[in-house]
A and B are shown apart, each in its own frame.
Chain A
């Protein structure tokens, strides 16, 4: 894994197709093996749906009755194909969210059930992830095929839930539209406020989510929020060694590397070497590194240091300096010159999407 992947979020044009494809491969397998299939197995075991429901639905399903309607690819060149794969993955992930616990009657699962089912506590139950080999071309063809297959199972599963009466189509459609309403990313706004308002910063560091209420930012409710502050003497890094716990209800999707096993293993074995190798981030020897391993009940993010040369900047300008990686300790906030360079090169930061919880 190279540090290039960590930069993916800020690239406007793709320079590294391989990194994009790798990210799609990793995320796709993660969502299939960790989020979707364990849920199906859980429900199969309890007879909520059966294999035979799935088979029957598959046989009877007509194209016009499909729940998920996918866009067509925009062009045949490599960049268009990569973008299409990324968009498709995004729709697949939303589809999984659609059939998550609280949307479907009879599927009263908590995250703990899902974790048990997917082998978080017992390797025996772990669903094997697929490995990817071959040239970039071959890998893209494979991904197109995988997405077709995985999407088909998702479609059939949703249809089976409707057929068995566990969900009704109108409710699912309402929820599906909600999942496509995007909320702006709050990370930059929160950090910029903390940099400029000492009282807010104090509240954020001591009361977590409570502090967000007053600034009108969506508070969410996924665990207790703890914000840890980077200073001249301390550099904080966040990890979830067991899975990928993160305040995603406030900060949106995690970067792909955060879920990656190599990061989750290396960061607690040799933090300095890990951030240097993965993110080209060198922590001076006189700074203490603190790694925070979330085990679900508490969710963490880092308050990065305010970059030098930002005196007198407005909150709005400051917010643009905050990157997703800097909230996890995988980078610093951008210096104004770096940010200007990106703007001049028309590099639009791709911020993670925050979805309704």
Chain B
């Protein structure tokens, strides 16, 4: 219990770890189709889809939710049309951990 108390969220943890994040805002990324060892909380409808890094959160400790610490977290921006047959020019932002992402080269 007391151990947990000192592991609450703090801005310092975030700032320290953001520098270790592999991607930066604006990078084009692809979400893996499958990743058995990755954080399971990666929604199915974005798997195998392309997006762009919208924000970089770094490593967030979430002692209430997770055992252990996950890789850096990003908010990835997807065009709605990449994820759904809907043709509206809207966007979906989803939080995804780094182990699910790979770089998309502009020429691919």
Contact A295 B95 (CB under 8 A): yes
Contact B93 A291 (CB under 8 A): yes
Contact A224 B84 (CB under 8 A): no
> Contacts A223-B62, A289-B90, A298-B73 given: A242-B11 contact, CB under 8 Å?
no
Q: Does B96 contact A (CB under 8 A)?
A: yes
Chain B: which residue is nearest A289 at the CB level?
A: B90
- How far, in angstroms, from A121 to B34 measured CA to CA in the complex? 13
- How far, in angstroms, from A223 to B40 measured CA to CA in the complex? 17
- How far, in angstroms, from A196 to B96 measured CA to CA in the complex? 34
Chain A: which residue is nearest B76 at the CB level?
A: A293
Q: Does A297 contact B (CB under 8 A)?
A: yes
Contact B64 A222 (CB under 8 A): yes
User: What residues of B have a CB within 8 angstroms of the CB of A295 in the complex?
Assistant: 39, 41-43, 94-96
Contact A271 B94 (CB under 8 A): no
Q: Does B57 contact A (CB under 8 A)?
A: yes
Contact A241 B57 (CB under 8 A): no
Contact B86 A296 (CB under 8 A): no
Contact B11 A210 (CB under 8 A): yes
- How far, in angstroms, from A242 to B39 measured CA to CA in the complex? 13
A307 → B minimal CB distance (Å): 24
Contact B1 A298 (CB under 8 A): no
Chain A: which residue is nearest B90 at the CB level?
A: A289
Contact A209 B65 (CB under 8 A): no
Contact B94 A242 (CB under 8 A): no
A214 → B minimal CB distance (Å): 14
> Contacts A102-B1, A221-B8, A241-B45 given: A269-B84 contact, CB under 8 Å?
yes
Contact B83 A268 (CB under 8 A): yes
Contact B43 A224 (CB under 8 A): no
Using a CB-CB cutoff of 8 Å, which residues 74-94 of chain B contact chain A? 75, 80, 83-86, 88-94
The number of inter-chain residue pairs (CB within 8 angstroms) is 104
Q: Does A231 contact B (CB under 8 A)?
A: no
Using a CB-CB cutoff of 8 Å, which residues 89-117 of chain A contact chain B? 102, 110-113, 115
Q: Does A83 contact B (CB under 8 A)?
A: no
Main secondary structure of the interface of A (DSSP, over half): mixed
Q: Does B21 contact A (CB under 8 A)?
A: no
User: What residues of A have a CB within 8 angstroms of the CB of B86 in the complex?
Assistant: 269-271, 273
Contact A110 B95 (CB under 8 A): no
A96 → B minimal CB distance (Å): 16
Chain B: which residue is nearest A101 at the CB level?
A: B64
Main secondary structure of the interface of B (DSSP, over half): loop
- How far, in angstroms, from A293 to B75 measured CA to CA in the complex? 9
Q: Does A246 contact B (CB under 8 A)?
A: no
Contact B96 A224 (CB under 8 A): no
Task: Count B interface residues, CB 8 Å.
Answer: 38
- How far, in angstroms, from A242 to B46 measured CA to CA in the complex? 12
Using a CB-CB cutoff of 8 Å, which residues 275-316 of chain A contact chain B? 288-298
Chain A: which residue is nearest B46 at the CB level?
A: A293
Contact B92 A288 (CB under 8 A): no
- How far, in angstroms, from A110 to B64 measured CA to CA in the complex? 5
- How far, in angstroms, from A339 to B23 measured CA to CA in the complex? 46
Contact B88 A297 (CB under 8 A): no
- How far, in angstroms, from A221 to B40 measured CA to CA in the complex? 22
User: What residues of B have a CB within 8 angstroms of the CB of A226 in the complex?
Assistant: 55, 75
Contact A293 B65 (CB under 8 A): no
B35 → A minimal CB distance (Å): 12
Given contacts A121-B40, A290-B93, A297-B73, 12 further A-B contacts (CB under 8 A): A110-B64, A110-B65, A120-B41, A121-B41, A221-B64, A223-B65, A269-B84, A271-B88, A272-B88, A273-B86, A291-B93, A296-B41
Which A residues have a C-beta under 8 Å from some C-beta of B?
Answer: 102, 110-113, 115, 120-121, 207, 209-210, 221-224, 226, 241-242, 268-273, 288-298
Please name 20 pairs of A and B residues whose Cβ atoms are closer than 8 Å in the assembled complex, sorted by A: A102-B1, A207-B11, A221-B64, A222-B64, A223-B62, A223-B65, A226-B55, A226-B75, A268-B83, A268-B84, A269-B84, A269-B85, A271-B80, A271-B90, A271-B92, A272-B90, A290-B91, A291-B90, A293-B93, A297-B70
- 8 nearest CB pairs, A to B: A289-B90, A121-B40, A111-B65, A293-B94, A270-B86, A295-B95, A295-B41, A269-B84
Which B residues have a C-beta under 8 Å from some C-beta of A?
Answer: 1, 4, 8-9, 11, 14, 39-43, 45, 55, 57, 60, 62-67, 70, 73, 75, 80, 83-86, 88-96
